[in-house]
Chain A
Amino acid sequence: MPSRRVFLKMVGLAAGAVSLIPARLAQAKKVGLKLDKVAELQKVGGWAIVPIKEETVLLIRDGEASIRAMTAICTHKKCKVAYLPDDKRIRCKCHKSFYDLDGKNTDGPAPAPLRQFKAELRGEQIVIDLG
């Protein structure tokens, strides 16, 4: 039976080790895309579906200095969704599911929201955190 002092040391060391893991993962999941490589995103309201690593990402240029990123795979039947700039909504054309700009399912058979990724425009680069 270890003493309380030894036990607390072990807890501290274990916590320290665990705290390092997410840092490594977070670093590995950030991806940068050159804005000029995606013609559809040059202007506000433009959108594109881009495969990045294991993800299929829907990118929406919703402002001069902002961009949104979320999975492009519908939560209903795994079809690829599309952005409707006029409605400011996302639609899955397969079975008429709709999502708002935050990825929340608002209409149709989709059972869950689209998973969001942190994304930002840094100069001429889009940085997406897939973590």
Chain B
Amino acid sequence: MKDHFRRAICLALILLVPPGAALAEDAAGVSPAAGAAPSAAGEEEIETIEEVETLQPDGDGSSSNARDWFSDAYPSLERGINLHLARTVRKYTLLFSVDHRTYQPLTKNPFEDFLGFDSGNLKIGLGLRFGVLDWMDVGLYRLNDGKTVPFDTYEFDAKFRVLKQDGQFLNLAVRPGVTLFTQRKGVKDSVGFFGQLLLDRVWFNRLTTGTGLLFHSNSTNDVKSNLDERWSMAVPFVFEYRILDWLALNYEMAVAVAGYGSKYGQGGLKAPFVFDGSPVSTFSPIYSGGVKFITNRHTFAIVVSNNQFMTADGVVANTWRCYGESVIGFSITRELDFD
């Protein structure tokens, strides 16, 4: 009985030694000549490649090849300045953003108030986005309150990229979300929702253009309260020109085309805040312009804008500030990869 058992074990061990192991030994040393037909034992087959293409290594922040500038070696630029593009954050990547916008116009006491940063009422936005899939990310954004706007804004959204420029000519995404306005004590919180259709395309590896349609159910900006539930719809225009791999120029606008924002300054609606000596503001499309510095995983943008409100509700309503009342600010993003 024991002999049978031993024989069976030996048989199994012999069978378990793969012929592939012999091939691996061949590769290290004595194997048939190059390009040779399979050996006598018929064990080795080499597939010969006739046409060989060579590739270049990726850049290091000094690449002059603009095609590299949108590779994984650089941050995924999913926003222009405030306005979203149809790109999502890379899968398993966390994008952290910090935005500051002053309240006081850039031109008023620029030295004493350090371009407005020392004058109070700063709007500070903190954002997190996480790439769940190659074509989907989710985000959380918080904008603080202040003396003029007694509510915090919290934004929760998901972005779904439906089309991708590689193969489908342009990027297209939809971005639905919910906005929560948390009021100060004694005032009821309010909730709104938004939807964005986003389109963009990169031209000549340098110029990104974007547009789409933005909607928010509660878009009255500075005078927002739980009673304000007036919707607005706007068309965004985003331009980002990549001068160098580390430097881009940005300009973006959002023009209200329907709803509350499109009627701002008309029919008895007055601009709630007007600075002394400034032209009376009634209606201006929102704009932001800036210079963006791009490193391997950070971006830093210095921004001039006529809008303090960087959230989805803030960009659909036109602003009461005319261009002479523009403010300054900055935006920083940092990508963290969990892949």
Tell me the A residues contacting B by CB distance below 8 Å.
Answer: 4-5, 8-9, 11-12, 15-16, 18-23, 25-28, 30-34, 37-38, 40, 48-52, 56, 72, 77-82, 92-96, 118, 120, 122-125, 127, 129, 131
Question: DSSP majority for the A interface?
Answer: mixed
* Category for how many chain B residues contact A: 35 or more
Q: A50-B53, A122-B34, A127-B34 are in contact. Are A15 and B15 (CB under 8 A)?
A: yes
Which applies to chain B's interface (DSSP): helix, strand, loop or mixed?
loop
Interface residues of chain B, those whose CB is within 8 Å of chain A, are 4-5, 8, 11-12, 15-21, 23-24, 27-28, 31, 33-35, 43-60, 71-73, 296-297, 337
**Interchain CB contact under 8 A, A26 and B49:** no
**Do A129 and B24 touch (CB < 8 A)?**
yes
CB distance from B182 to the nearest CB of A (A): 38
How many Å from the CB of A86 to the closest CB on chain B?
A: 16
B20, B28, B57, B337: the one within 8 Å of A49 (CB): B57
A15-B15, A23-B18, A129-B27 known; A30-B44 Cβ under 8 A: yes
The answer to whether B296 and A32 have CB atoms under 8 Å apart is no
Smallest CB–CB gap between A49 and chain B, Å? 4
> Are B43 and A122 in contact, CB atoms less than 8 angstroms apart?
no
Taking a contact as CB atoms under 8 Å apart, the answer to whether B56 and A77 are in contact is no
A2 to B35, CA, bound (A): 49
Cβ-defined contact, A94 with B59, below 8 A: yes
Bound-state CA distance A28–B44 (Å) is 9
> Smallest CB–CB gap between A29 and chain B, Å?
9
Give bound CA distance, A51 to B53, whole Å.
7
Report the Cα distance A94→B146, complex, angstroms.
Answer: 41
Given contacts A31-B48, A94-B73, 15 further A-B pairs with CB under 8 A are A9-B8, A12-B12, A21-B18, A30-B45, A32-B46, A32-B49, A37-B52, A49-B57, A79-B58, A79-B73, A93-B60, A94-B72, A127-B34, A129-B24, A129-B27
